[in-house]
Amino acid sequence: MFQTEIPLQETLKSPIQTLKPKFRSIHKTQNDEELSENIENSEHQLELFRSLTTKNVINVIRVQTVNDRWIGIQLRDPYVTCGWLLSEVIRKFSQLDLNYDPFDIVGFKTNNIHLDYQLSCLHLLLPNLNGVLLVPQIRKGLKEPMNIDWFEIIKKIGAGSFSVVYLVRNKENGQFYAMKVTDKQLMVESDKEELIIKERQLLIQLNHKRIITLQAAFQSKSKLYFIFDYCPGGELYYHLRNQKRFSEEQAKWIFIQIVDAIQYLHSKNIIYRDLKPENILIDLDGYPKLVDFGLSKPVENQEDLNFSFCGSLEYMAPEMIELKGHNYTLDYYQLGILLYEMVAGIPPFFAKTRQEMIKNILSKQINYPNFFSKNLVDLISNLCNKNSSQRLCGKKILQHPWLQGFIRKMPIKYKIDSFHIDKLFINQLNQNIESGPRCIVEEYNLQTMAQSVKDEDWCSFEKFQTFYYKKQ
Q: Is the pLDDT of residue 24 over 50?
A: no
- The beta-strand segments (E) located in 129-212 are 133-138, 151-159, 163-170, 176-183
Please tell me the predicted confidence (pLDDT) of residue 321.
95
pLDDT at site 189: 87
| Nearest CA-CA partner of 105 in 126, 127, 83 | 83
Q: What percent of the chain has pLDDT over 90?
A: 67
With a cut of 80, say whether residue 442 has pLDDT above it. no
Instruction: Return the pLDDT at 12.
Output: 36
For 379, half-sphere exposure in the C-beta direction (CA atoms, 13 angstrom radius) is 28
Name 173's Cβ contacts closer than 8 Å, sequence gap at least 6: 106, 139
Could you report the per-residue pLDDT of 374-433, keeping only the tens digit for each? 999 999 999 999 999 999 999 999 999 999 999 999 999 999 999 988 877 777 766 667
Contact 351, 360 (CB under 8 A): yes
What digits encode the pLDDT tens for the residues 61-105? 999 998 889 999 999 988 999 999 999 999 999 999 999 999 999
Mean pLDDT of 49-55: 56
Please name every residue paired with 138 in a beta bridge, in sequence order, or none if there are none: 105
Q: Is residue 374 a known part of a binding site? A: no
The predicted pLDDT at position 54 comes to: 60
Closest CA to 343 of 234, 238, 252, 239: 252
The full 3-state SS of 55-66, as one line of letters, equals CCCCEEEEEECC
Question: Where do the domains of the chain lie, and which CATH numbers do they carry?
Answer: 8-137 (no CATH), 148-232+417-470 (3.30.200.20), 236-403 (1.10.510.10)
Query: 221, 160, 145, 193: which is closest to 434 by C-alpha?
Result: 221
| Residue 4 pLDDT exceeds 80 | no
Average pLDDT rounded to a whole number, residues 115-136: 95
DSSP code string of 344-392: HSS-TT--SSHHHHHHHHHHPPPPPPTTS-HHHHHHHHHHT-SSGGGS-
Segment 7-30 mean pLDDT: 37
pLDDT at 55: 63
Catalytic center residues? 274
Provide mean pLDDT across the span 183-210: 92
Q: Is the pLDDT of residue 285 over 90?
A: yes
Helix 329-344 and helix 374-383, axial crossing angle in degrees, nearest 10 = 150
Contact 345, 244 (CB under 8 A): yes
**Torsion 193-195-198-203 (CA) sign:** negative
Residue 5: which pLDDT band, with cuts at 50, 70 and 90? very low
> Are 336 and 365 contacting, i.e. CB atoms less than 8 angstroms apart?
no
Give residue 56's pLDDT: 78
Evaluated on CA atoms 93, 94, 97, 99, the torsion sign reads: positive
Can you give the pLDDT at residue 53? Answer: 55
Mean pLDDT along residues 23-52: 44
Q: Is the pLDDT of residue 440 over 70?
A: no
Round the average pLDDT of the chain to a whole number and report it.
85
Task: Compute the residue count for the chain.
Answer: 472
List the single range of 65-69, 244-248, 294-298, 344-348 with lowest mean pLDDT.
65-69
pLDDT at 462: 75
Is the confidence at residue 454, as pLDDT, over 80?
no
* Mean pLDDT, rounded, for 328-353: 96
Name which of 142-146, 356-360, 442-446, 449-453 the model is least confident about.
449-453
**Is residue 3's pLDDT more than 70?**
no
